[in-house]
Amino acid sequence: MKVMVFNSGSSSIKYRLFDMGDRSVLASGMLERIGEEDACLEHEYVLPAGGRHRITRTHPVLHHREAMRQINAALRETEAYRDASELLGIGHRMAHGGEAFREPTLIDGRTLEAIRRLTPLAPLHNPAMVTGIDEALAAFPGVPQVAVFDTAFHHTLPPHAYRYAVPREFFDRYHVRRYGFHGTSIRYVVKQAARRMGRDLASLNLIVLHLGNGSSAAAVRGGVSIDTSMGMTPLAGLVMGTRCGDLDPAAVFHLLRQTGESREQLEDVLNKDSGMRGLCGRNDMREIQRLAGAGDADSQLALDIFVYSIKKYVGAYYAVLGRVDAIVFTGGIGENSALVRERVCEGLDGLGIAVDPAKNDACPRTGGAIHRDFSRVAVLVESTDEQLEIAEQTVETLRRHGEATHLFSGCK
């Protein structure tokens, strides 16, 4: 009952191997700096006698195909599995499914070609992920593989939430609309939040704040996404580590005229050199908080803008939902920054949101409730696990398609 999950980038491949009988992690790792002489593989695996061991190897890896071979070799060498026949399936994270993919999808030639056609919607993400799928198909022949799309969770948005006020032709011909991202993470944490509250997810109205280097907010009613801050691409919405978030479109035209930069150069700046990095020169929230605490004015302003952008969406989604049962913090910043959580919720007492400072400061990495006893709205911290969610969706997709049904008896 082993399932592999891959998350492929332009110069890296992250992976995790699960035993889906008990959802345990048998091995995990990342191979980064693909295409360079000092490519590095970090591989962690479970020892036969218990405990975990890590190995690190640095040597040239010229392309993704060689990277897949190295990962496969490390998995077999450390006895995570003997051969690919032990794999029930492989799940792949895909950033953008456009309008074509509304649920996890079994990968075949037609599916892969449809994903390739979505490249104009996600030129910074989908091509590398497609390369990862190509190489995984070559490295693990005969193993069923599934694409899990970050956008799929948000296909429940109503038209008044996903349509932009642009000519109809832009929507019909060029698919310009809000898609939303972080859906795999949000799907996982809303289930965790419902379990923590002892409530049926169908009865809950939640505002989910996925805060990390990429950040988004989502309004979730009864486990169904009804609005989200990211748009046609992950560039919209909250201020992020290196992305600008919401921006007047006319600012782009102005910058093109004034700077002389090409469209591609400006797109690169808005994605990679804006957000917190653009405001204060850094995108690591730990460093920004440290410098802000030491009196650095740029870092203080960056933190103020970041928190303010989140608080505005909390208010907006409170209005959209009408009733809110819980605010859910997740992602690297949401799970680890007590200061950000405190400041986002500060001054929201009138909405029934009250954080307990002691609970907030003491909240473990595994998550917990951080609101005061009298708070009408629960405030929760939930540790996300996108890889496990992808693995679970992979199993469900294979079950739905009747793939390897003889192996499903041990998978609950």
Query: Annotated active-site positions, please?
Result: 150
Backbone angles phi, psi at 117, to 5 degrees: -70, -15
Strands in 186-335 per DSSP E: 205-210, 216-221, 224-228, 326-330
> What length does the chain have?
412
Cβ of 138: how many Cβ atoms within 10 Å? Answer: 12
Which residues 6+ apart lie within 8 Å of 398 measured at CB? 88, 89, 106, 144, 146, 404
Crossing angle (nearest 10°) for helices 109-116 and 126-139: 160
Query: Can you say whether the dihedral through the CA atoms of 146, 147, 151, 152 is positive or negative?
Result: negative
Q: Which two tokens stand for residue 237?
A: 């919405």
User: Facing residues of 353 across strands?
Assistant: 377
Cβ atoms of residues 367 and 192 within 8 Å: yes
Task: Measure the CA–CA gap between 32 and 29, rounded to whole angstroms.
Answer: 10
- Pinpoint the alpha helices (H) of 175-262: 183-197, 249-259
Question: 251-277: string of b/e by CB count within 10 Å (b at 16+)?
Answer: eeeebeeeeeeeeeeebebbbeebbbb
Task: Measure the CA–CA gap between 408 and 393, rounded to whole angstroms.
Answer: 14
Cβ of 90: how many Cβ atoms within 10 Å? Answer: 26
